[in-house]
Amino acid sequence: MSVSVNPSDQVCENGTEHVELLPATNDAHGGVIVEMREAMDPRAFLTLLKASISQWRQEGKKGVWIKLPIELVNLVETVVKEGFHYHHAEPQYLMLVYWIPKTTNTIPANASHRVGVGAIILNDEREMLVVQEKSGRFQGTGVWKIPTGLVDEGEDISVAVVREVKEETGIDAEFLEVLAFRQAHKSFFEKSDLFFVCMMRPLSFDIQKQDLEIEAAKWIPLEEYAAQPVIQKHGLFKCIYELCLAKVKGNYAGFSPLSIESIFDDKLSYFYLNRQDVQCLSSSYQS
* Binding residues among 1-40 for a copy of itself as defined by CB under 8 A: none
Question: Among residues 50, 88, 126, 201, which is the contact residue for a copy of itself, using CB under 8 A?
Answer: 88
211 is an interface residue for a copy of itself by CB under 8 A:
no
CA distances from 261 to 92, 264, 265, 267, 277 (A): 32, 9, 8, 6, 21
Is residue 264 part of the contact set for a copy of itself (CB under 8 A)? yes
The helix (run of H) or strand (run of E) holding residue 94 is strand 93-99
CB of 137 to a copy of itself, least distance (A): 6
User: CA 209 to CA 216: how far, in whole Å?
Assistant: 7
Site for a copy of itself in 144-173 (CB under 8 A): 150-157
Does position 185 bind a copy of itself by CB under 8 A?
Answer: yes
Cβ-Cβ contacts under 8 Å for 94 (sequence gap 6 or more): 67, 68, 70, 73, 76, 86
In the complex, what is the shortest distance from the CB of residue 258 to a copy of itself, in angstroms, rounded to a whole number? Answer: 7
Check binding of 61 to a copy of itself (CB under 8 A): no
Q: Which of 11, 194, 207, 220 binds a copy of itself (CB under 8 A)?
A: 194
CA dihedral of 174, 175, 177, 181, whole degrees rounded to 10: 140
Strands 268-273 and 25-26: unpaired
Interface residue with a copy of itself among 37, 50, 113, 201 (CB under 8 A) is 113
Select the residue interacting with a copy of itself from 13, 17, 267, 283 (CB under 8 A).
267
In whole angstroms, give the CA distance from residue 255 to residue 175. 11
Site for a copy of itself in 216-255 (CB under 8 A): 230, 233-236, 238-239, 242-243, 246, 251-255
Structure letter (DSSP) for residue 15: S
- How many residues of this chain interact with a copy of itself, rule: CB under 8 A? 87
How far is Cα 90 from Cα 252, in angstroms, rounded to an integer? 40
